[in-house]
């Protein structure tokens, strides 16, 4: 059961890795969020806090990307609703997965 509780933070790490690949980051940079996956099972003092900090940074990046994409879509004249709904949902999911780093302790 404890490993199922780590699923939201793990999915957030994987989503951010895919985001970096989509944005054109080099493969070694895009693979950096994958370091957080095996560290989810370690329960020593600084690691859950580091996971929380990483997930908060991911959520900030998702909000920044949402802002950039919606302003671009407004300039071009395309509907902004799909971008806001999808990226806003991903940002909210990442933000809500932050407390799950402490649930399995």
What are 104's two structure tokens?
């399995």
Q: Write out the E strands in the chain.
A: none
The answer to whether residues 13 and 97 touch, using CB atoms and an 8 Å cutoff, is no
Q: In the predicted model, what is the mean pLDDT of residues 87-97?
A: 95
The answer to whether residues 35 and 81 touch, using CB atoms and an 8 Å cutoff, is no
First vs last C-alpha separation in the chain = 12
Distance (Å, whole) CA 72 – CA 96: 27
Q: Is the pTM of this model over 0.75?
A: yes
Whether pLDDT at 27 is above 60: yes
Whether pLDDT at 43 is above 80: no
Position 103 scores a pLDDT of 64
The answer to whether residues 9 and 102 touch, using CB atoms and an 8 Å cutoff, is no
């Amino acid at each position: 059961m404890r490993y199922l509780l780590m699923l939201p933070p793990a999915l957030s790490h994987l989503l951010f890795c895919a985001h970096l690949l989509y944005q054109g980051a080099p493969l070694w940079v895009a693979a950096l969020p994958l370091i957080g996956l095996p560290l989810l099972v370690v329960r020593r003092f600084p690691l859950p806090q580091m996971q929380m900090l990483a997930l908060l940074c991911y959520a900030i990046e998702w909000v920044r990307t949402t802002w950039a994409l919606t302003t671009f879509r407004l300039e071009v004249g395309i509907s902004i609703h799909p971008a806001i709904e999808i990226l806003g949902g991903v940002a909210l999911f990442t933000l809500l997965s932050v407390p799950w780093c402490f649930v399995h302790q």
